[in-house]
Every structure is written in structure tokens, then in C-alpha cells.
Amino acid sequence: MNIGYACITKGLADAKYKTCRKINATEENLKLLIEHNLNVLEKMIEYNHQAGIKLFRISSDIIPFGSDFVVNDLDWPTLFEPLFTRIGEKIRRYGIRVSMHPGQYTVLNSPIKGVVDRAIDDLNYHTLFLDSLGVGSESKIILHVGGVYNDKEAAIDRFTQAYEQLDRKIKDRLIIENDDRSYTIQDVLTVSKRTGAPVVYDNLHNALNSEDETYPDSYWIKLAKKTWKNKDGRPKVHYSQQQLIGREGSHSQFIRIDEFMAFYRDVESCDVDIMLEVKDKNLSAVKCLLATTTDPKISDLENEWAKYKYTVLERSPAIYDSIRELLKNKSSYPVIPFYRLIEAALAQEINTNTAINSLEHVWGYVNQDVTVKEKEKYQEYKSNLMEDLKYLERVKRFLYKLAVKYEVDYLINSLYFEL
């Protein structure tokens, strides 16, 4: 069982994808963007390997206008073949399973032919990207069934007809998912019977859109597993939590560890890969991996604490002290209490006093190296912060630049600048 995350890696320096507007999508600009984005992907793969993360969803936006062959007519698989080969080799060597998930406008069952044609173009693009990496059919493309259009049976018929026309390369990768409004897990299992497409179960979508709420997640996962063949690899599920204060269906900022462990205990025997859909991405993936590891080491929690400590301090000095006390026993592995305290801190608002307290601790890592002008700038930012908390983001950006300039890796790797 692997646990992974989608698209963006938090806290990883110089690892942000870039894109452009159509008007700026010149051949030269597209080449620069694609090369940059592939290099970012390589950094993310390296990070995942170091973090022990074996499941990763690649952003659909990695090739700007990848499915618009008018705007982007580059033969990018050939142009960047050495880079694709290198990244793909690392993915395979590290045992990382990758996937992709086209967006809401990739709709196979639309009654409008042009929409379906564009959806097929998009699926061809995603398939070509994964093929260019040289990854096997266990690397999947996830798709929702689409709209209902006032007649679900007719919409399912159209999906089936469009699916039958797809190239075999697409079919070998395509899996279908229940959604939070239109197609329940029961509907998707029915579509699977008609098409042969494997089913990926989404727990939050099922909680919001189900014909029968009496069954646990494991019940539906076991049914979905039956739709997978050996060539498809280990069955996948999507796991997310409702943001406590947010619109219905919005993903939580972070995975709440107690809720996750209840889910994990229910589905552990199903032997599935779990893709987390959560706003803090890899941070929650690491949390869930450490909470379920069969090889617990206090050093892993200490490494996590090094990343979170100043984020916690700027919210709650009391929780900061509690975590330090919790980790003193080097023969223990208090992973659940540790993350409960982290979550409690993240739920608290930052105030001026706690912000400056944490800021001063961080400043202490660079204040012996900075120039007189940089010291003056810091004091100016600090004075402004005492008057208005809105200056916190600015002073953090300033301190991050100093950390990079003076190569203070401890700060660069900290989540203080990210959360």
C-alpha cells in the first residue's frame, strides 16, 4: 500500500511550474517553459524518492497547451527525449507510480461533438506524456464520467460509445472515478461493466453523493478492486477530507490524522494505493506515511519537527513547548500525539506577539552574516509588523531571500515560509 499526493510539492525550492497566455505561446517561449517544467518534475521525483513517497500525480499543465495542437504544435516528445528518458528512468528505478488527471472540461459524454473531440485530444496528450516517460500501464489517467444533461442513461450511453472509439493506448491507462454531484460509485461501477474501465473510488465524493450511505468505504473499494486487471497494477483510491469551514466538497488544508487513521484501519486489508487530495500536498503524504509505517524511528519525527517548529511557534508557544517535551523520550514514537499538536497549532490564528517571537528566532540564523543595510531593512520590517500584521508576509519573503543568499539550509527547508 502506497500513499501519495497530487501535482505540487510544498516546501521544495525552485519547484514551481510556469505557463503563459496564448498570445505569448511562441515556439521559443514554449520550449523554455517545457524545459523548465520537466526540470521541476525531475526535482519533485527526486524529492519523492528521498521522502519515501511512491505515488505521485503529475500536473496536466506541465506541457503548456499540450492538448491544443494549434497553439502548441511542437514535437515536444522528440525535442525533449533525453529529459523524458532520464526522468522516466528515475521513476522506474525509484519504484514511483505516477498518474495524471485531466480537468473538468475533458468530457467524453457531452452531446456536443466538438467538446468530445477536444476531450479525446486531451486524453491523447496525457497518454503521449506518460508514454514519453516510458512508464507502464499501471500509470493511470483518471477521468470523471461527465455530465448528466437531464438524461443519465443517455449520457452513459454516449460515454460508452466515445470510450469504444478511443485508441487502445488510452484505454490501457484510463480509469473512471465517482464524483460529488452526478455519478455515484454505483453509477461508475455500472459504466465499468459496460466499458471495462477500472474504477477509482473517492471517499469524499461518496460521502456527498451516494445512493446508500450505510456501507463503509472498504465495501465500495472491494467492489471497485474487482474492475482492475493485473496489467493495471494495484487498485487506487482517492482520499480527502472536507474543509471544516468551507464550501461543501472543498478539500481540507491538511489531513486530520485521527480521521485518516480510522479510514486506514477500515481499508488496510484491501491493499490499495491511496492518493491524498489535500491542499498541503506532500506534507500530509509524509504525515500519513509516518503514521502508518512499520519501521518507526524517532528521528523521522525530529526531522518533521525541524520543518514545522517555527510555524508552530508563531501560532502557539505553549504547543511549541509541548512538542519539544513530547520528543524528549528517544525510545518512543509518539506520531499521533505529535501530529495532533501540529494540527492544533495550525488551527490557531497568528498574532503580533507570537509572529515577532518566531521571527526573531528565524532572524537569529542569519543576523551574524547580513550586511548593515540588510539589518536596517529587517528592523524596518519588524517595526512595521508591530503596527500591522499584514507586513508578516513581506518580512518572511525578505528573510527567505537572506536564507538563500547565505545558504542557510535549515531555514530553506523549513515550512515557516510555506505555511
Both 385 and 239 in one domain: the answer is no
The closest of 274, 260, 279 to 56, measured between CA atoms, is: 274
Task: State how far the Cα of 174 lies from the Cα of 172, in Å rounded to an integer.
Answer: 6
Task: State how far the Cα of 32 lies from the Cα of 314, in Å rounded to an integer.
Answer: 39
Task: State how far the Cα of 350 lies from the Cα of 361, in Å rounded to an integer.
Answer: 16
Both 359 and 333 in one domain: the answer is no
Task: State how far the Cα of 382 lies from the Cα of 368, in Å rounded to an integer.
Answer: 17
Tell me the three cell numbers of residue 152: 443519465
- pLDDT for residue 140: 98
Task: State how far the Cα of 185 lies from the Cα of 49, in Å rounded to an integer.
Answer: 33
11, 256, 310, 343, 419 from 346: Cα distances, Å: 16, 11, 11, 5, 9
Both 240 and 165 in one domain: the answer is yes
Both 70 and 100 in one domain: the answer is yes
Task: State how far the Cα of 419 lies from the Cα of 412, in Å rounded to an integer.
Answer: 13
The answer for 77, left when phi > 0, alpha when psi is -120 to 50, beta otherwise, is alpha
How would you classify the pairing of strands 141-144 and 97-99? unpaired
132, 240, 307, 329, 346 from 280: Cα distances, Å: 29, 12, 14, 29, 12
With residue 317 as reference, give the H or E element that holds it. helix 317-326
Q: Alpha-carbon torsion 60, 64, 65, 69, what sign? A: negative
Both 270 and 314 in one domain: the answer is no
pTM score, whole prediction: 0.95
> Which of 292, 313, 328 corresponds to the end of one domain?
292
Q: Which amino acid is at 221?
A: I
Q: Which residues, 6+ apart, have CB-to-CB distance to 214 below 8 Å?
A: none
Both 340 and 356 in one domain: the answer is no
Q: Which residues, 6+ apart, have CB-to-CB distance to 299 below 8 Å?
A: none
192, 193, 210, 413, 418 from 12: Cα distances, Å: 38, 42, 38, 7, 9
The closest of 403, 336, 273, 368 to 5, measured between CA atoms, is: 273
Both 250 and 340 in one domain: the answer is no
- pLDDT for residue 334: 98
Both 136 and 76 in one domain: the answer is yes
CA 196 from chain centre, in angstroms, equals 28
> Which of 260, 275, 292 corresponds to the end of one domain?
292
Quote the number of domains for the chain: 3
Question: Which of helix, strand or coil describes residue 5?
Answer: strand
Both 46 and 104 in one domain: the answer is yes
Residue 27, classified by CB atoms within 10 Å of its CB into exposed (0-12), middle (13-18) or buried (19+), is exposed
Phi, psi (5° rounding) for residue 107? -120, 110
DSSP H helices in 80-236? 81-94, 113-133, 152-164, 168-171, 185-195, 203-208, 217-225
Both 245 and 331 in one domain: the answer is no
CATH of residue 122's domain is 3.20.20.150
Both 253 and 208 in one domain: the answer is yes
Length of the chain: 419
Determine contact, residues 358/314, Cβ cutoff 8 Å: yes
- pLDDT for residue 349: 95
> Which of 346, 366, 385 corresponds to the end of one domain?
346
Rg (Cα) of the chain, in Å, rounded?
23
The closest of 266, 269, 242 to 254, measured between CA atoms, is: 242
Both 325 and 368 in one domain: the answer is no
Determine contact, residues 288/260, Cβ cutoff 8 Å: yes
What single string gives the DSSP state of each residue in 238-249? EE--B-SSSSTT
With residue 55 as reference, give the H or E element that holds it. strand 55-57
Query: Which residue positions in the chain have pLDDT lower than 50?
Result: none
Q: Which residues, 6+ apart, have CB-to-CB distance to 152 below 8 Å?
A: 182, 183, 187
Name the residue range of residue 397's domain. Answer: 352-417
With residue 345 as reference, give the H or E element that holds it. helix 335-346
